[in-house]
Amino acid sequence: MINNFYYHTPTELVFGKDVINYLPEVIKRYGKNVLLTYGGGSIKKIGLYDKIKELLKDFNVIELAGIEPNPKYETSVVEGARLCKEHHIDVILAVGGGSVVDCSKAISVCAKYDGEGWDLISGKVKAKESIPLVDILTLSATGSEYDSGCVITNISKNDKRGYMDDIMFPKVSLLDPTYTFSVNKWQTACGTADAINHLLEQYFAYPNNSFNDGLLIEGMKTLMKNVKIALEESNNYDARSELMYLCTLACNGILSNGSGSSGWPMHSIEHALSGYFDITHGAGLAIITPRWMKEILSNRTLERFVTLGIRLFEFDSNMDKEEMANKVIDNFYQFFLSIGIPMHLKELGVDENRIEEMAKHILQHDSTLGEFMYVELDEAALIRILKTSM
């Protein structure tokens, strides 16, 4: 059965080699004054920065460089909003991975707000307006290019917040897989782990249906196959293009229309980890995934694992169900390990002594936990997941 649902994505996707050539006509729709936002310099190394400057030579381009992975409110968002106000920016052009796109979304609303921007991000005040946002994606991972969310860290509060609002959907996302050829093995693996986790977060939900299961599981298969190819051959267009397209779809919700909500519990846990320890999002998720699965495995969830076992890993359907569920969990562990992710949080610098504090933080700050969760997690369960992930 397909449950009632509301689905809306206004973002235009333009996908393929050289789609950057559409940039001037896309930007022209919104105005002359452009805020170009980017990260630590990868776009300069691959020649993308020069290409953009050439294409936008007739526009007034102001720059915000140096946006950090796990973008920070106090630095990048505040500075970006200030630049928008000072230069009467008409459109923001975000060029980079999820961090740059997320930061630019936050800037797009904070620039149109006179109070403290964190009020918007923390959900205290509802944003009324935003500056149009266009992006050129350079890393396949988060799906920020096709959703209305951003994830911003307030360093002083150790608070990494997911913030969603329809007014932050990008207007246009230009997706050229060749710009991801230069992504290193670590980010390729972590980005793919992130997208696989997005599919799992939607898969472990009730009610669910066989059609959505098919979309989500086929998505996982595609990601698992192509990441191995991209890790071997960085410039393999076929693999990079499949990774890019799947990552774009994986966080948008379109693959689980009509299914129940899951609460995205692994993301709640990971956001606390990167809020406290600034770890790479996809790595944190990969480590948590098998431990969370072990925690929620019960008679109620068993069939979800069995369907994954049969449809994703092609296990023999006559296998004992509990044994199959445990094999599914082990397969995910081994898969993440095989793409180069260390499967213990301590290897990423997480301090075990702060687990209790993080568990409390998650329960206090994450509104998606609780009644919308597929399997509710209390403080003791969060502590168990974090401890076994160490």
Residues engaged in binding ligand NZQ (CB under 6 A): 39-42, 46, 69-70, 96-100, 102, 138-139, 141-144, 147, 149-151, 179-180, 182-183, 187, 191, 194, 251, 267, 281-282
**In the complex with ligand NZQ, which residue's Cβ is closer, 143 or 290?**
143
Q: How far is the CB of 1 from ligand NZQ (least distance, A)?
A: 28
**In the complex with Zn ion, which residue's Cβ is closer, 103 or 324?**
103
Interface of this chain with Zn ion, residues 193 to 252, rule: CB under 5 A: 194
Mark residue 255 as left, alpha or beta (left: phi above 0; alpha: psi -120 to 50; beta: remaining): alpha
List the one residue out of 185, 91, 105 whose CA is nearest residue 143.
Answer: 105
Q: How far is the CB of 324 from Zn ion (least distance, A)?
A: 27
**In the complex with ligand NZQ, which residue's Cβ is closer, 208 or 268?**
268
Q: Which does 147 bind (CB under 5 to 8 A by kind): ligand NZQ, Zn ion, none?
A: ligand NZQ
Q: Choose the stretch contacting Zn ion; rule: CB under 5 A; options: 189-197, 226-234, 299-307, 340-348.
A: 189-197
Task: Compute the chain's Rg from CA coordinates.
Answer: 20
Q: Which does 191 bind (CB under 5 to 8 A by kind): Zn ion, ligand NZQ, none?
A: ligand NZQ
Name the helix (H) or strand (E) containing 100. helix 98-110
Q: Which does 150 bind (CB under 5 to 8 A by kind): ligand NZQ, Zn ion, none?
A: ligand NZQ
Which residues are within 8 A (CB) of 184 and not within 5 positions of it... i.e. 6 or more apart? none
**In the complex with Zn ion, which residue's Cβ is closer, 63 or 278?**
278
Q: Which does 91 bind (CB under 5 to 8 A by kind): Zn ion, ligand NZQ, none?
A: none
The whole-angstrom separation of Cα 293 and Cα 135 is 35
**In the complex with ligand NZQ, which residue's Cβ is closer, 93 or 306?**
93
**In the complex with ligand NZQ, which residue's Cβ is closer, 149 or 263?**
149
The whole-angstrom separation of Cα 162 and Cα 194 is 15
- State the number of binding residues for Zn ion (CB under 5 A): 1
Instruction: Give the up-direction half-sphere exposure of residue 276: CA atoms within 13 A in the CB hemisphere.
Output: 22
145 binds Zn ion (CB under 5 A): no
**In the complex with ligand NZQ, which residue's Cβ is closer, 297 or 373?**
373
Q: How far is the CB of 148 from ligand NZQ (least distance, A)?
A: 8
Q: How far is the CB of 80 from ligand NZQ (least distance, A)?
A: 15
The whole-angstrom separation of Cα 67 and Cα 114 is 22
Q: How far is the CB of 88 from Zn ion (least distance, A)?
A: 34
**In the complex with ligand NZQ, which residue's Cβ is closer, 91 or 183?**
183
Q: How far is the CB of 187 from ligand NZQ (least distance, A)?
A: 4
**Residue 157 tokens, joined:** 């509060």
The whole-angstrom separation of Cα 130 and Cα 136 is 19
Please give the residue whose beta carbon sits closest to ligand NZQ in the complex: 39
Largest CA distance in the chain: 66
Q: 383 with 359: CB under 8 angstroms?
A: yes
The whole-angstrom separation of Cα 102 and Cα 108 is 10
Q: How far is the CB of 289 from ligand NZQ (least distance, A)?
A: 13
The whole-angstrom separation of Cα 116 and Cα 261 is 31
Name the helix (H) or strand (E) containing 342. none
The whole-angstrom separation of Cα 164 and Cα 367 is 12
Q: How far is the CB of 201 from Zn ion (least distance, A)?
A: 8
The pair phi, psi for residue 160, each rounded to 5°, is -105, 115
**In the complex with ligand NZQ, which residue's Cβ is closer, 244 or 306?**
244
The pair phi, psi for residue 274, each rounded to 5°, is -80, -20
Q: 184 with 237: CB under 8 angstroms?
A: no
Dihedral angle of Cα 46, 50, 53, 56, to the nearest 10 degrees = -70
Q: How far is the CB of 281 from ligand NZQ (least distance, A)?
A: 4
* Footprint of Zn ion (CB under 5 A): 194
